[in-house]
Structure 1
């Protein structure tokens, strides 16, 4: 990421400090701890919550306390709370409080992905909090946040200008046999620069934005898992998630970038 990412972050921090100083009296009178509920500091999260107070138990983030490489920070999200038998998570949203664009990814879940444990790698340009918000089919909302200390800022990590062809060599690891209703682990990886539009090339000119925006998994004609990705996802996007298939069929994996280009991979699945 380029110097402009750093500059925008510095300006954002200055605005936060100015806002905080102006509202000191209000903070002292408020019973809410903004340090503990950092999702209240992001407009994108507030818009998602729409005035609701989320449940703070059940949703868990798995992040390193310290990362030496801000361009590829491992991130895991899982849900181990209690829900009614006919309830399940429908979507999980990830945000980074200190990145120029706070959105990291949105995962859409359904009947075939009721085992919510997802892993990926993300870009974080400075020490900051990562926030996760999840919604359920019956309308419950859960939220969690965790701080990550970044040793080498993601905005200082320069990528190579010469990289493999975007959307080439999609790799999928999945067992071809599974018992009905059991959690089936799926791991995917694909070549792509995930250029943010903020990084400079070797000639000093900004490299154009070029990211994978959508990832979809279908079992036959039914959508099993979806992900909307943003520029905070690391280069060569990696995703690990689970499916809970009930019948055999063809798994179709599809990646689509912001230039309309697509890649596809298929796997035959046998459910006993």
Structure 2
């Protein structure tokens, strides 16, 4: 066998041996195991964009994409993010419907230490994908001493929409709301632990029907930022509602124009 062919063969064999081992790592983490359930997950088709190194672990950008249709009969119904080195492994859950049109989401998260970030995606037909990325963090973002922002209200909801949505396409939407997202784990300037206070959900409805729900946990960064897609079939009213764990909520209503 020529050397070039032999080298290529060895690389192929090595990749075939390593891929199952890498995919099997998810079984070591309870939160990921629970999300996967009894399914046999796949790695191909699910990607995560995450910095290799972050100097500030309090606001690390992450994007998850699933290469899958978003039709009424076949769509990605959830994307979950986990951080195995954080005090709480659950980071954020995106619950999708075909109305989003594209299985791609972004947010900013708190990363406590250098660790592995995991993503689990599930379709309405029971297919499951798992992927992960390692990240090195200089300053952790979960337990650092913080200013006392207890007086900061859930406020100033901001929604960036295209001037018009394109019929048959999914277009990008970006949202931001002012909130400290206090974890209940951090000390204030006087050494006392600041009370937990979180935005627990963002719900987006189009024409009275839910298009997207985002469930947030302690690792979502302050002033929660969410990027996703919407694919309205016709011009309609969209309502964005942020719900705090206290029961308080704010909303923002927008007219969606479809050309």
Alignment check: 8 A CA contact 1:219 1:249 kept: yes
Equivalent residue number for residue 188 of structure 1: 175
**Is it true that 1:58 corresponds to 2:52 in the alignment?**
no
Structure 1 stretch 158-167 or stretch 194-203: which is displaced more?
A: 158-167
Following superposition, the deviation at residue 85 of structure 1 comes to 8.7
Following superposition, the deviation at residue 161 of structure 1 comes to 1.9
Distance 1:35 1:184, change over 3 A: closer
Structure 1 stretch 116-125 or stretch 33-42: which is displaced more?
A: 33-42
Instruction: Select which of 152, 155, 163 maps to 1:168.
Output: 155
Which sections of structure 1, spanning at least 5 residues, go unmatched? 1-30
Partner Cα separation in structure 2 for residue 234 and residue 81 of structure 1: 28
TM-score, normalising length: structure 1: 0.83
Instruction: Select which of 204, 220, 228 maps to 2:215.
Output: 228
TM-score, normalising length: structure 2: 0.87
Alignment check: 8 A CA contact 1:119 1:240 kept: yes
Which sections of structure 2, spanning at least 5 residues, go unmatched? 1-17
**Is it true that 1:113 corresponds to 2:100 in the alignment?**
yes
Partner Cα separation in structure 1 for residue 180 and residue 164 of structure 2: 33
Following superposition, the deviation at residue 51 of structure 1 comes to 2.6
Q: Cα deviations across residues 151-183 of structure 1 (Å, max 9, x unaligned)?
A: 112245433324773211111100241122211
Show structure 1 runs of 4+ deviating over 4 A: 31-36, 81-85
Instruction: Select which of 232, 235, 248 maps to 1:261.
Output: 248
Partner Cα separation in structure 2 for residue 199 and residue 71 of structure 1: 12
RMSD of aligned alpha carbons: 2.0
Alignment check: 8 A CA contact 2:70 2:101 kept: no
Equivalent residue number for residue 184 of structure 2: 197
Following superposition, the deviation at residue 44 of structure 1 comes to 1.6
Equivalent residue number for residue 134 of structure 1: 121
Alignment check: 8 A CA contact 1:176 1:267 kept: no
SS of alignment partner, residue 112 of structure 1: helix
